[in-house]
Copies of this chain bind each other. A is one copy, B any other.
């Protein structure tokens, strides 16, 4: 056993995930987390017992509240959000659209949205679309790490909203949420944080930091499965915002089937259609595990895993360029390294059961999910990359 694994207080959690012998190093937990070994049974039991047994009665017996309950637990365990502000629903893209529209539509007279060129495509595309349809201007932060100083350079009295990622999807740069949030607020702007690449692995204190809005996905470090629904956080003081997709399940009294949409009180008004109950099942097991292990302990192991990765890359793959921060305080839970040969190399690694992520044109992204990734796995992966080069 790798001595780092022997000393790791979280090492035993790895046994709770599905493992196949042909996958010798799974280093893509930041794209798609592994299923828990219990997930299959959770899904099949739900289908047979709950769906099959309770049938339509299930909606009155908990399904309708599932998204808010899981949201509250996620808020408590991972986000630093007190209850009533977080819900599960839709996809990250759709929630982004709804929250950004709700935010900019409420900021009368402010005509600009700030975003960075290195933000994830969906964030950029959604904002470009909204800017075009609402007659707003996008103010771009040029590619590179998003610091408070760089945000301060572009916000101003016209800024309606700032949209940034907590952890950059490519570099893994970890933005200083409280400092940047304060900069946005000093300009009178609202701020929305995309937590896709941090939720479940880097703790946040959304309430304490005064964050206005956040979205994130659940299939990375929350292990919700391919295409599982996303989550939204809207701080309590903004529950008078109105989002544009006015569906029955965001309305005040959906089962009255009445004339005229009236938004529900609270976080539920940000929902639209029928809650994705089956899609929300798998993440529940992982959020339970995170609660048990503690997000602080997870962050500690995450830092140790990325430090170990970087030291191995320095030693074994010196020709690769480190595209992630060396400062652990500014780094999420993945490490990206670049080399012109990587595009050709990744399919060969995948064939051999060494599974990192690839980001064009030349990046290998090593995503480390503390409860399911061992130090031995990291070493095997980096050694395989070095050998294949």
Q: Which of A234-253 contact B (CB under 8 A)?
A: 244-249, 251
Whether, in the assembled complex, A91 has its beta carbon less than 8 Å from a beta carbon of chain B, the answer is: yes
B247, A125: Cβ atoms under 8 Å?
yes
- B residues less than 8 Å from A296 (CB atoms): none
- B residues less than 8 Å from A152 (CB atoms): none
A125, B91: Cβ atoms under 8 Å?
no
A53, B23: Cβ atoms under 8 Å?
yes
Residue of B nearest to A60 (CB): B350
Whether, in the assembled complex, A26 has its beta carbon less than 8 Å from a beta carbon of chain B, the answer is: yes
B40, A357: Cβ atoms under 8 Å?
no
A275, B227: Cβ atoms under 8 Å?
yes
Return A86 CB to nearest CB of chain B, in Å.
Answer: 18
- B residues less than 8 Å from A275 (CB atoms): 226-227
Return A65 CB to nearest CB of chain B, in Å.
Answer: 13
The docked-state distance in angstroms from the alpha carbon of A276 to that of B39 is 17
The docked-state distance in angstroms from the alpha carbon of A30 to that of B227 is 26
Q: A273-B90, A274-B217, A276-B228 are in contact. Are A129 and B261 (CB under 8 A)?
A: yes
Q: How large is the interface on A (under 10, 10 to 19, 20 to 34, 35 or more residues)?
A: 35 or more
Return A256 CB to nearest CB of chain B, in Å.
Answer: 6
A56, B32: Cβ atoms under 8 Å?
yes
Whether, in the assembled complex, A277 has its beta carbon less than 8 Å from a beta carbon of chain B, the answer is: yes
The docked-state distance in angstroms from the alpha carbon of A58 to that of B23 is 13
Other than the given A122-B248, A228-B276, 11 more pairs (CB < 8 A) read A32-B55, A39-B48, A43-B44, A47-B225, A58-B226, A93-B247, A94-B247, A120-B257, A217-B274, A256-B360, A276-B279
Residues of A participating in the B interface, judged by any CB pair closer than 8 Å: 17-20, 22-23, 26, 28, 31-32, 34-35, 37, 39-41, 43-48, 51-53, 55-59, 63, 90-94, 97, 117, 120-122, 124-126, 128-129, 133, 170, 217, 219, 225-230, 244-249, 251, 254-261, 272-280, 282, 350, 355, 357, 359-360
Offer 28 A-B interface pairs, CB within 8 angstroms, sorted by A. A18-B52, A23-B55, A32-B51, A32-B55, A32-B56, A35-B48, A37-B48, A43-B47, A57-B355, A91-B272, A93-B245, A93-B273, A93-B274, A94-B94, A94-B247, A97-B245, A97-B247, A97-B272, A121-B257, A122-B249, A129-B244, A129-B245, A170-B257, A225-B278, A227-B279, A228-B278, A276-B279, A278-B282
